[in-house]
Amino acid sequence: MFIFSSVILKRFRYLITFIFVATVFFSVYLAFDAPNSFLMWAFHRTGTIKHTNSKGQIDGQLIEYEDGKVVNTINYVSGLKQGASVKYFANGNMKNKIFFINDAAEGYEYEYYENGKLNYKRFWKNNKRFGNTVYYYMNAKPQIWYTYDKLGRNFFDIGFDTLGNIIKFAGHIMSSDIYSYSKKYDSFLLLQNKHTYNDIKDLYITIAEPADLDLYCFVKINDKVYDDIDVNQNTIKISNAFAHSGSYQILIGCQLKDKTAKLIKTDYYGETIIKE
């Protein structure tokens, strides 16, 4: 009897010990925001935390760790990237920040040096580079300035030394891919020389506009000249350019000058468009 009771007592002590350890384990588990957070802590916080919806799609914030430090965060909604995606250096400083709408890059992207200074800034439109991409020296002055058109094609570059002096440039001030908007197709149409269109109204032109340089442009459509033109996000818009049926001869001219009024570059481009 005594031996039997000792065995029972020993097993009972094991059970009590197991319950105690399990309770402590569960309490620590609950102290974290989510089950995956605890798993990351348990495995040296190196890996990926992500949540999925009932369809198996990533939903919510995805967090990536290396050696216990966050290196990347991305927001998802039903499997699509939405909002800011941020990467970090090991020292905690931001490395890169980019924005998404329905999985497509949209708006400004920022990349930084490890010391926190800006490396480059670029603009995205519908997952394509558009407008200006600017790389910077460590002294915060522009190093090279790229400009992209609506198709994501680079059409103009200009480079500077560390003092801000121009040392090189290539390409043209305006993109040769001029375009209009089609209500019928609910999209933009590239206008090609001597082609005929029946659903166009406004004219759009993509322009390079580097900082610290003066830009002047004019647009001549048949006999009408537009010379008081605003450039908004690298784009010139001529409203009602194709108001009536007929042939339209388009001439675009642009100049870049430095702050001393020294001429840097002059470019012209022309097309003939027909509207039915």
pLDDT tens digit sequence for 235-269: 999 999 999 999 999 999 999 999 899 999 999 99
- The ranges assigned to domains in the chain are 1-31
133-188 pLDDT, tens digit per residue, is 999 999 999 999 999 999 999 999 999 999 989 999 999 999 999 999 988 878 89
Residues 6+ apart with CB under 8 A from 209: 132, 147, 215, 231, 234
Q: 164 near 242, Cβ under 8 Å? A: no
Prediction pTM value: 0.78
Token pair listed for 52 = 């999925």
**Which position has the token pair 């995956």?**
36
pLDDT at 43: 39
Separation of CA 137 from chain center: 21
14-42 pLDDT, tens digit per residue, is 656 656 555 545 554 444 444 444 444 44
- Where is pLDDT greater, at 85 or 41? 85
Token pair listed for 255 = 């100049």
Mean pLDDT over residues 198-222, rounded? 94
The percent of residues in the chain predicted with pLDDT above 70, rounded, is 82
pLDDT at 35: 46
Q: Does residue 52 carry a pLDDT above 80?
A: no
